[in-house]
Amino acid sequence: MGPREKVVLTKAQETLLIPLYAKANGQPIFIDEKAQQILDQIEYPFNELKIPKKTAVTLLVRAEKLDSYAQAFLQRNPNGLILHLGCGLDSRCLRVAHDQAAWIDLDMPDVIALRRKLYPENEGYKMIASSVTDLTWLNQVAVQQQPVLVIAEGLLMYLRENEIRDLFLALQTRFPGCEVAFDAFSRYTTDRIKNHPSLKKTGAEIHWGIDDPHDIEKWSKGIEFLEEWYFSQSPLVSKMDAFYKLMFKLTAHIKMAQQAQRILFFKLN
């Protein structure tokens, strides 16, 4: 990337720096060397993001689980396609080997402009510069009758429900049989998290939460709910200090805490 570069982003797009900073400082729970390399080259007051340790831990747990969905998908479908929506500056495309598969990262144009300086495209890796809600981006994805996994990490809660529904229906039409993995807040968390210090710093707004994942099945025939995965189930818990081990052990017995933020997995038949 050359000399340090001033990053100019909208307030909402500054949120992509939060998971990047957490992953760069995630050892020994989570190792992401690319995240640290990026931080070393960006001029930005990262410590002003004020990321609570609890938030950083959940970001690492979320990333590891979504990595595992991608790995499992590629084991079943080595020639498949992974679409990472709202990719930010994340290095999942490097953390998850995909020698035979196609991988597409999508984010807003100014985010992708920066990302292109950090991640070279090649035959198996492409980027799309677009808002995820401008569904014309789907026309840039070649349909090759291959299995598709869509990952949306830290994205859908910033959209409104009608935008998410339109996205699901478009994915279902364009890639019938595709799988979709994403993290979601409960409705209670959506209301409560508005005072989170990192969100106050960036000015981003949370709009969407869901309590019953089966509600998404009502959007269209063929939408199939497969899994609701709780953060307390993560294998990373064993690597945490005593406080967080206890915290996750306790939340495993409290439904409201379990559903505050979790991973949901669907198939769009």
Where are the chain's structural domains? 65-268
Q: Is 62 helix (H, G, I), strand (E, B) or coil?
A: helix
Task: Report pLDDT for 44.
Answer: 77
Task: Report pLDDT for 195.
Answer: 64
61 and 261 Cβ atoms separated by less than 8 Å: no
Q: Average the pLDDT over 220-237 and give the result.
A: 97
Write the pLDDT tens digit of every residue in 172-228.
Answer: 999 999 999 999 999 999 888 766 665 656 567 889 999 999 999 999 999 999 999
Biggest distance spanned by C-alpha atoms of the chain = 52
Counting residues of the chain whose pLDDT is more than 90, the rounded percentage is 69
Eight-class DSSP state of 36: H
DSSP bridge partners of 152 = 85, 182
Q: How many helices (H) and strands (E) does the chain have?
A: 11, 9
Provide DSSP, 193-250: GGG-HHHHHHT-------S-THHHHTTSTTEEEEEEEEGGG-GGGGGS-HHHHHHHHH
Mean pLDDT of the chain: 89
Q: How confident is the model at residue 40 (pLDDT cuts 50, 70, 90)?
A: confident
Task: Report pLDDT for 6.
Answer: 58
Is the pLDDT reported for residue 3 higher than 60? no
Q: Average the pLDDT over 122-132 and give the result.
A: 96
Cα gap 74→99, rounded to integer Å? 10
CATH 3.40.50.150 is the classification of domain 65-268: yes
Task: Mention every residue, 6+ apart, whose C-beta is less than 8 A from residue 87.
Answer: 93, 105, 106, 107, 111, 115, 127, 153
Q: How confident is the model at residue 261 (pLDDT cuts 50, 70, 90)?
A: very high
Is the pLDDT reported for residue 243 higher than 60? yes
Top pLDDT among 50 and 249 is at 249
Is the pLDDT reported for residue 2 higher than 60? no
Q: How confident is the model at residue 1 (pLDDT cuts 50, 70, 90)?
A: very low
Write the pLDDT tens digit of every residue in 57-104.
Answer: 999 999 999 999 999 999 999 999 999 999 999 999 999 999 999 999
Top pLDDT among 200 and 168 is at 168
Task: Report pLDDT for 199.
Answer: 61
